[in-house]
Amino acid sequence: MNVIGSRPTGWWRDRPAAMRELVDELDAFASATGEPVTVVFDGRPFDLDGGPSVTVAFASRVGRNAADDDIAALVEGTPEPAGLTVVTSDSELAGRVRAGGAAVVGAGAFRRRLERAQ
C-alpha cells in the first residue's frame, strides 16, 4: 500500500482498482526484469490474479501491522533473505526486515523503477 499511496492519484476512492493497477504494473516490471515479485496487501481478500510473474497475498489477519507481520515472516522463513528486497516506507517494517537480512527500498524509489520499466 506504500507504493500505491506514493502518488496522489485518488486511489482511496477505489482501493480494489488501485490494487489491480499496481499488480498489473508489478507483472510488467517482473516480466521486464525477470525479478520475482510478491505483493502483500492489507484488507479483505478479493479475487486478484497476479498474472504469471506476481504472487499476490493478503494479510493473514486484520488489524495494525497485519501485512507488515506477514512480510517480516516471509523474510524470516526464507533460507537466503539477503536475496530479498522489501519495498516499504514504514521505518519499523524496514528495521525488522533489515534485521532479518533483507534489503529495503523506499516506496517512492520503487515507484520510479516501475515507471521506468514500462
* pLDDT computed for residue 64 by the predictor: 87
pLDDT reported for residue 75: 97
Task: Print the SS3 string covering the chain.
Answer: CCCHHHCCCCHHHCHHHHHHHHHHHHHHHHHHHCCCEEEEECCCCCCCCCCCCEEEEECCCCCCCHHHHHHHHHHHCCCCHHHCEEECCCHHHHHHHHHCCCEEECHHHHHHHHHHHC
Going from N- to C-terminal start, the domains of the chain cover 4-117
Q: Cα–chain-centroid distance for residue 117?
A: 16
**Confidence (pLDDT) at 6:** 85
pLDDT recorded at residue 91: 95
pTM: 0.90
Write out the chain's pLDDT in tens, 118 residues.
888 888 888 888 999 999 999 999 999 999 999 999 999 999 899 999 888 889 999 999 998 899 999 999 999 999 999 999 999 999 999 999 999 999 999 999 999 999 887 7
pLDDT given at position 117: 79
